[in-house]
Structure 1
Amino acid sequence: MDPASLPEQLSVVNEQVLNSSSRSVTAAVSLRRFLCYGSESATYSTKECALGIENALALMQFIEGGRGCEVVDEIRRLNLEGHAVRRNPSLFALAVCSQHADCKTRQAALRVLKELCRTPVQLFTFVQYKKELKQGSGMWGRALRRAVTDWYNSQDGMSLARTVTKCKHRAGWSHQDLLRLSHMKPTNDTVAVVCKYITKGWKGVQETYGDKENSDDVQKVFAYLEAMEKAKHSTDEQELIHLIEEQRLEKEQILTNHLKSKEVWKALLKEMPMAVLLKHLGKLTANKVLAAGSPDVAAVCERIQDESALKKAKTHPFNILVASENYKRGHGKRSKLKWEPDGDIVQALDCAFCKKYFSEYCSEIAIVEPTGKRFLVAVDISSSLSSVTHGSSISTVAVAAAMCLVSDTAANILKSSYATVKSVIAQTEPDAQIVVYSEGSILPCAVSSDMTFMQVAAQLIKTPGGSTDCALPITWASENDKTVDVFIILTNNQTLGRENPADTLKTYRQKSGVFSKLIVCGLIANSLSIADPEDRGMLDICGFDSQAVDVIRNFALDVI
């Protein structure tokens, strides 16, 4: 194995010189692929695969080679820098490290546990992976008990109270299980109140703290838990609304029966997290909580278009697009729920995605300067674009239209969204080419910055179709002496033509002397096998979701 350190191996720069030996997939690249999106192969799928040792050979290669601490450092860095688009592969790798015979590797893994497990779900998932990896010996040793105890003690009482009451159990584990098995000993009074609540319930909290003089912080936690208990048993709608507003209770903390009340929903709406709001817009409209022309609709529209609120909630532009398309559809994907889309809400969603928010979001979270690379983005319009994109609930034309529109309007970004892929290209990289292709020909995509999302979609739908040849954009670039660093091809056709795009790319590289990369997005594909798994410069994407956006970003910027 190369004696260079892991970070050095993983920081190969995409030089503009063809060098096949330096472009092969090393163990370090395979490790980073696994940590970033859960697969050592050259394929990202919107459907998560089961994680196991057999799927993480590079991970084991590094650990068995005595470099487990370096692996832990890489796990931590990729997560903190936002490159690990899926958290579970990192948690699995961390669990593997924490089980290893090497003491330093085990200690390093458990030392970063509270930093990487931000939520109870992640903590429960990590513990479950450890259970699955257990080989004959008990897993609850002193080191794990200390790490789990530190996770609870590192939080203040109020934050912990909110966290544990919103997510009580997952992956076969509960907070009560972890406190019992870790022999939890609270290090401050407020955490002690929450631990008492977890292990002994509200009755135990009352008996211990009800008749005592407590500090202000303890009283706040006590009052919050008391409100939680009252909300569970209240039959008075006004009392419940008062509790929600006073203690900022959330939907997950309210009984299902109470959610039949329109007024309860209105109370929840005031402090509802952005992700929950976007998910339930249809339900809120169907139940008349959001009545046309009401102050509630006006308030929701203002929030949806509030750039600072969207950024604070880390709302991904692609998720706004999904919420918009789902809402416009007027009915649930699987449920019988139906609603009449409110025009103001539709306009607010379109505005949030296309105008006010997207470009600001992308430039705000940009992690690198413009690359100076040359891009060719090609959208296949050879078959119907009305299919549903695998991995999301929206049509392929919506994804393609978003890409076309944003590429012309929001531009500073090779950094954040599918629609971003084109924006990245259009203005951050001035040498970009953006085309649609079909039936042996390539046409410019007639999109301008003043077009609406629906106009762009209509433009793509009316473009004549034909047979599919995903190698065509690469051949076109070669024949017209176009220098391209990254080809991004989007198709919803399973038939990819007579020529394999991977072979065509290799020919193009030889002719141009540039190590060009190829990303093929099969928007309705369950599987794809275009990319050469031994070639670091090729990537297949099956379906599309917000995480695929980040995979593209990582790949184009040489993170993977």
Structure 2
Amino acid sequence: MTMEPLGSTTIVSSSNHTHNSTGDGSCPWEVSDKAKLCRFLCYGSERDIYTAREERHVSMENAGALLSLLQEGRGTEVVDEIKRFTRDAQAVRLHPSLFALALCSQYSELKTRQAAFKAVKEVCRNPAHLFAFIQYKKELKEGMTCGIWGRALRKAVSDWYNEQDPMNLAAVVTKFKQREGWSHQDLLRLSHTKPANESIALICKYLTKGWKEVQAAYAEKENSQEVIKVLSYLEVVEKVKHSCDETEVINLIEEYKLEREQLLTDHLKSKQVWRALLKEMSLHSVLWTLGKMTSNRILEPGGSATQALCERIQSEAALEKAKIHPFSILLALENYKRGQGYQGKTKWEPNSSILKAMDSAFYTSSMNVEPVGKRFLLAVDVSTSLSSIVPGTSVNTAIAAAAITLIFARTEVDTQVLAYSEGALVPCTVSADMTLAQATTEVVKIPGGSTDCTLPIIWATENGKAVDVFIILTNNPVWTFTASPVEFLQKHREKFGANSKLVMCGLTSTGHALADTEDRGLLSMSGFDLGSFNVIRNLAQGLI
């Protein structure tokens, strides 16, 4: 293996890149039912189009391949894929997996049903997931005479509660009280749950009978240490519900690490209560409530709470613990810069210290992006117009394209960046040590030409650059091709013996197919969000 410089990025060249096996005996470029299932589990559609920030309603219309696999007797294989996508955080959205698991749990084949019910506690990681799974089962049974609450579901739900750590269960059930029209009281009653131990029994009694009955039942009993611990925690949750004393609420938040969902709306009118919550609030939640907290003067210029928060946002240890992706920070940063909520009701004056801290965090958080280890080529066609915004965000397309290229340059050793110039392509000097402002200037300094996604493939092929994944970034709503991109992609694959793939990302498009032919290596994206990185990663690794 040799290292050679290319512009400002380092290129790893190797002769070991060969065609990958799909593992199921099919052609590597065939869009098999298995590939369609993986797309569905990843982003909720079997098609080769990923639509950013869209929470589509999952239905049988989107699950043709899933049904085909079940009918072929491959149900346990489907359940294994559901577990893999949820366990390895490969799914952009979890609802497709919950829907698929619900469907498998009601399929006629016994082995499939058994595998699905066994997977419930692994796939449903919190009560919100469990409620959604139950609701999908209910919807799938619409019009059928039999109900959903058979012995297998009752056992699966009972096991979900019984196999939780008691203190963790006490915390999550008081945060996620109900979702999708279901409550814990409903699930415990319908599943006929028999608690596995005294601590779980205490929580079940609390959820089904209420705090007064718990107090009466446990007042005179000789309780174990664990039961006393759970009892104390639930007592605190109840005390907060009825407390109007600001000092008491703050002390309970700090001592028991209570969260916003466990408080009353009136409590959240207090600045001091917010500042107490802020100490333990997840960094994800912090980033998306900065505007509200600035508007309500919880975070004031030069204040101790603001200073502590800025230190935390920039902390390498805090960012690593929260596993925050740099693009997530960019989205929050641009939203905060905007100074106004999307509904137009909340307004704030962005704090310069917070802006500086978030800018620093963008670069530091690159350590949270695990390299894919493939050869990437990013071709940018973005106009200099700052009025063009990525839908659903406050980020203009020029900054978005620069951020995407910079994240790849900082995390992937083998990254080449190109820019369009009047129908031709030129190398772009985007390097890992650049700032976002420098990268933005670099990618937009050349006027955009037509969006012909074959150009980077031709350039790489003619210049002897083997590429695993081509990524085209454009804000042009019209995509033109001199010829089918598949034809040029196949030539590149043959020349370098590589499983080359192509992602066409329309940063402002509403979603349309990249080509008429079906090729597993082609994918188009409508808009761009945090999930887009997951989709590209899955495609690069041959998972979808």
Q: TM-score, normalised by structure 2?
A: 0.90
- Looking at structure 2, the residues matched to 294 and 500 of structure 1 have their Cα atoms a distance apart, in angstroms, of 60
Q: 1:38 to 1:496 in 2, by over 3 A?
A: same
CA-to-aligned-CA distance 1:276-309 (integer Å, 9 cap, x gap): 1111112212222112222212211222122332
**Structure 1 contact 33–41 (Cα < 8 Å) conserved:** yes
The aligned counterpart of 1:476 is 459
- Looking at structure 1, the residues matched to 19 and 458 of structure 2 have their Cα atoms a distance apart, in angstroms, of 22
The residue type paired with residue 426 of structure 2 is L
The partner residue of 2:72 within 47, 65, 75 is 65
**Structure 1 contact 390–526 (Cα < 8 Å) conserved:** no
- Looking at structure 2, the residues matched to 156 and 489 of structure 1 have their Cα atoms a distance apart, in angstroms, of 47
Q: 1:438 to 1:16 in 2, by over 3 A?
A: farther
CA-to-aligned-CA distance 1:413-444 (integer Å, 9 cap, x gap): xxxxxxxxxxx2xxx22xx4211114212233
The aligned counterpart of 2:179 is 170
Confirm whether residue 25 of structure 1 aligns to residue 31 of structure 2. yes
- Percent identity (aligned): 53
**Structure 1 contact 487–516 (Cα < 8 Å) conserved:** yes
- Looking at structure 2, the residues matched to 437 and 347 of structure 1 have their Cα atoms a distance apart, in angstroms, of 32
Confirm whether residue 521 of structure 1 aligns to residue 505 of structure 2. yes
The partner residue of 2:246 within 237, 240, 243 is 237
The aligned counterpart of 1:301 is 310
SS at match of 1:280: helix
The residue type paired with residue 198 of structure 1 is L
- Looking at structure 1, the residues matched to 34 and 535 of structure 2 have their Cα atoms a distance apart, in angstroms, of 17
- Looking at structure 2, the residues matched to 517 and 385 of structure 1 have their Cα atoms a distance apart, in angstroms, of 30
The aligned counterpart of 1:559 is 543
**Structure 1 contact 382–467 (Cα < 8 Å) conserved:** no
Q: 1:30 to 1:404 in 2, by over 3 A?
A: closer
The partner residue of 1:441 within 397, 412, 424 is 424
Q: 1:59 to 1:507 in 2, by over 3 A?
A: closer
**Structure 2 contact 324–368 (Cα < 8 Å) conserved:** no
- Looking at structure 1, the residues matched to 20 and 68 of structure 2 have their Cα atoms a distance apart, in angstroms, of 30
The residue type paired with residue 125 of structure 2 is R
SS at match of 2:471: strand
Q: 1:84 to 1:220 in 2, by over 3 A?
A: same
SS at match of 2:244: coil
Tell me by how many angstroms 1:234 deviates: 1.4
- Looking at structure 1, the residues matched to 300 and 83 of structure 2 have their Cα atoms a distance apart, in angstroms, of 46
The partner residue of 1:547 within 501, 519, 531 is 531
Q: 1:513 to 1:217 in 2, by over 3 A?
A: closer
Alignment of 1:118-129 (within 5 A): 118-129=125-136
The residue type paired with residue 451 of structure 1 is M
The aligned counterpart of 2:146 is 137
The aligned counterpart of 2:195 is 186
Alignment of 1:160-309 (within 5 A): 160-309=169-318
The residue type paired with residue 538 of structure 1 is L
- Looking at structure 1, the residues matched to 322 and 306 of structure 2 have their Cα atoms a distance apart, in angstroms, of 20
Q: Which moved further from structure 2: 115-124 or 509-518?
A: 509-518
Tell me by how many angstroms 1:20 deviates: 10
**Structure 1 contact 438–465 (Cα < 8 Å) conserved:** yes
The partner residue of 1:15 within 11, 19, 23 is 19
The aligned counterpart of 1:115 is 122
SS at match of 1:290: coil
CA-to-aligned-CA distance 1:284-343 (integer Å, 9 cap, x gap): 122221122222122112221223322322322221111111122222222322222222
The aligned counterpart of 1:361 is 368
Give unpaired runs (5+ residues) of structure 1.
1-12, 412-423
- Looking at structure 1, the residues matched to 496 and 438 of structure 2 have their Cα atoms a distance apart, in angstroms, of 40
- Looking at structure 1, the residues matched to 132 and 202 of structure 2 have their Cα atoms a distance apart, in angstroms, of 25
CA-to-aligned-CA distance 1:55-84 (integer Å, 9 cap, x gap): 212211221112211221222123222222
The partner residue of 1:88 within 95, 117, 120 is 95
CA-to-aligned-CA distance 1:364-410 (integer Å, 9 cap, x gap): x45x6x34x4x3210112463542213434222221121233344x2
CA-to-aligned-CA distance 1:449-475 (integer Å, 9 cap, x gap): 443223333444444344433333234
Tell me by how many angstroms 1:523 deviates: 1.1
Alignment of 1:90-109 (within 5 A): 90-109=97-116
The aligned counterpart of 2:438 is 455
- Looking at structure 2, the residues matched to 76 and 125 of structure 1 have their Cα atoms a distance apart, in angstroms, of 16
Q: 1:16 to 1:195 in 2, by over 3 A?
A: closer
- Looking at structure 1, the residues matched to 268 and 344 of structure 2 have their Cα atoms a distance apart, in angstroms, of 17
- Looking at structure 2, the residues matched to 446 and 186 of structure 1 have their Cα atoms a distance apart, in angstroms, of 62
Alignment of 1:372-521 (within 5 A): 373=375, 375-382=376-383, 384=385, 386-408=387-409, 410-411=410-411, 424=412, 428-429=413-414, 432-497=415-480, 499=482, 502-503=485-486, 505-506=488-489, 508-509=491-492, 512=495, 514=497, 515-521=499-505
CA-to-aligned-CA distance 1:134-179 (integer Å, 9 cap, x gap): 1331110001000001101111221111101111111121111111
**Structure 1 contact 505–518 (Cα < 8 Å) conserved:** no
Tell me by how many angstroms 1:500 deviates: 5.5
Q: 1:287 to 1:309 in 2, by over 3 A?
A: same
Give unpaired runs (5+ residues) of structure 2.
1-16
- Looking at structure 2, the residues matched to 395 and 329 of structure 1 have their Cα atoms a distance apart, in angstroms, of 12
The aligned counterpart of 1:8 is none
Tell me by how many angstroms 1:104 deviates: 1.4
Q: 1:158 to 1:530 in 2, by over 3 A?
A: same
Q: Which moved further from structure 2: 474-483 or 341-350?
A: 474-483
- Looking at structure 2, the residues matched to 83 and 28 of structure 1 have their Cα atoms a distance apart, in angstroms, of 15
The residue type paired with residue 397 of structure 2 is T
SS at match of 2:355: helix
Q: CA RMSD in A?
A: 2.4
**Structure 2 contact 453–481 (Cα < 8 Å) conserved:** no
SS at match of 1:525: coil
Q: TM-score, normalised by structure 1?
A: 0.87
- Looking at structure 1, the residues matched to 299 and 237 of structure 2 have their Cα atoms a distance apart, in angstroms, of 26
- Looking at structure 1, the residues matched to 517 and 133 of structure 2 have their Cα atoms a distance apart, in angstroms, of 29
